[in-house]
Structures are given as structure tokens and as C-alpha cells.
Amino acid sequence: MDVRIRAAEPRDAHAMARVHVDSSRTAYAGIVSSEFLEDLSYREAELRCHSVIGNSTRKTFVAETHAGEVVGLAGGGPEQEHDPTDRGELFLIYVLAGYQRQGVGRCLVSAVAREVQADGFRSMLVWTFRDLHGARRFYESLGGELVESGTVAIGGRDVAEVCYGWRNISDLSELR
Ligand SMILES: CC(C)(COP(=O)(O)OP(=O)(O)OC[C@H]1O[C@@H](n2cnc3c(N)ncnc32)[C@H](O)[C@@H]1OP(=O)(O)O)[C@@H](O)C(=O)NCCC(=O)NCCS
């Protein structure tokens, strides 16, 4: 898929919210409660996208088609849970259902890895749901190793999650 990966700008927040909400609803069905997914709001997602774009320690990217449609987004920066000087973290990655399996996700991860590397980190991690098999196969295909597991409370329900790590992100950052 011929898409351009570029840094997200405030004007992208509306389109990013659409990608975020629509692909969450499709991908998380059966993993996260249906009430939680129904309650997702484009407006709130747009506000969150605005604050992520304005966050100086994180970098967010969008994947844009030649027609100017935003079909994917990803963001990364210093790991938020533990020692922020230790590792980088891929915080979010979403590709619209109709654009998946065309290499967009791989290009987005590469852009984030380059940024994380430029911030001085050699390694990176990402948390995902244990039962989100497509995302797990995706991280595994990029050389991610299963390093941790846990649970996270979402919509009043504990959801199992797993963490993938890359010890050395130099290969990831060179993916095209
Ligand atoms: C996970 C996601 C970001 C991957 O993006 P993508 O653009 O579809 O991935 P790519 O096309 O770059 O895939 C690269 C490789 O990953 C693997 N892969 C990706 N999705 C896969 C799937 N659903 N099942 C099995 N393997 C998969 C394949 O090896 C693929 O290479 P191939 O298509 O040549 O076989 C995308 O599917 C998505 O947004 N899913 C919904 C939201 C989500 O799960 N986000 C992650 C939350 S942590």
C-alpha cells in the first residue's frame, strides 16, 4: 500500500479519532465489553488525539493515502509505567480495517522506532490484549518477544494483556 507516513498535526485529530474508534470497535469486539465499545466517543477520542499530538515527550504519526485520507496512526516515546530513562514504548497503533495487511502497520512501527532511537533508547516495548491475536502475530512478525503479562481494568472488567519487547530496535527502525 502506497501511503505516506508523517508526523501528526492538530488538523489530523478528527481523522485520527475516526481511525482509533472504528478500528477499536472492530478489533476489540469479544475482548472488551460491548457496552464500553458502544460508548466510545469520536469527540472524546478527538480531544485525546489533540493532547497526544501536543505532548512534547511523545511523537505521533499518521499514515495518509495519496488522496489525503488518514488510514492509520501510531505513537511512541519513553516508557510510561516504569523508568522513563530505560526503554521506549509504542503506545498506540491503529490501521483502519480496510487497509490492514498491506504493510501500513510495519511502516508506522518503523517511524516510531526511529523516533524512539533518536531519543536515545535501544529497546522498546508494547502492551496488547492477550486475546488480540492479529496484533500479537503482527508484533511477532516484527521480531517482538513476549516479555510480560498482566491485566488491565477496562469498562469495569479485567482484561488480560501481554507485553512484547525488542531488545534492539535498530532493525525495526530500518523497515520500509
Ligand atoms: C495490528 C495492526 C496495527 C497491524 O497493522 P497492519 O497494517 O495490518 O500490518 P502489516 O500489514 O504491516 O503486517 C505486517 C505483518 O504482520 C503480520 N500480521 C499483521 N496482521 C496480522 C493478522 N491479523 N494475523 C496474522 N498476522 C498478521 C503478518 O506477518 C504481516 O505480514 P504479511 O501481511 O506480509 O503476512 C492492525 O491490524 C490494526 O490496527 N489492528 C487493529 C487495532 C490493533 O489491534 N492495534 C494494536 C493494539 S496494541
pLDDT given for residue 140 in this prediction: 98
For 151-161, what is each residue's pLDDT tens digit? 999 998 999 99
pLDDT given for residue 85 in this prediction: 64
pLDDT given for residue 174 in this prediction: 84
pLDDT given for residue 125 in this prediction: 96
For 40-51, what is each residue's pLDDT tens digit? 999 999 999 999
Looking at ligand 1, which atom is closest to the CA of residue 26?
41
Q: If you average pLDDT over residues 102-123, what whole number do you get? A: 96
For 13-31, what is each residue's pLDDT tens digit? 999 999 999 999 999 999 9
**Percentage of residues in the chain with pLDDT exceeding 90?**
87
Q: Is the pTM of this model over 0.85?
A: yes
Instruction: Name residues whose C-beta falls within 8 Å of residue 154's C-beta, 6 or more positions apart in sequence.
Output: 32, 33, 36
Gyration radius of the chain's alpha carbons: 15
For 50-61, what is each residue's pLDDT tens digit? 999 988 889 999
The residue whose CA has the least distance to atom 4 of ligand 1 is: 105
Q: How does the average pLDDT of the chain come out, rounded?
A: 94
Looking at ligand 1, which atom is closest to the CA of residue 129?
48
Q: What is the CATH number of the domain that holds 35?
A: 3.40.630.30
The residue whose CA has the least distance to atom 7 of ligand 1 is: 105
Looking at ligand 1, which atom is closest to the CA of residue 90?
48
Q: How many CB atoms lie within 10 A of CB 175?
A: 16
Q: 3-state class of 14 per DSSP?
A: helix
For 66-90, what is each residue's pLDDT tens digit? 999 999 999 999 997 766 567 999 9
Q: What is the C-alpha separation between 95 and 1, in angstroms, rounded?
A: 12
The domain in which residue 136 lies consists of 4-173
Which three-class secondary structure string do you get for 62-85? Answer: EEECCCCCEEEEEEEEECCCCCCC
Q: Residue 113 C-alpha to ligand 1 middle, in angstroms?
A: 16
Q: How many domains does the chain have?
A: 1
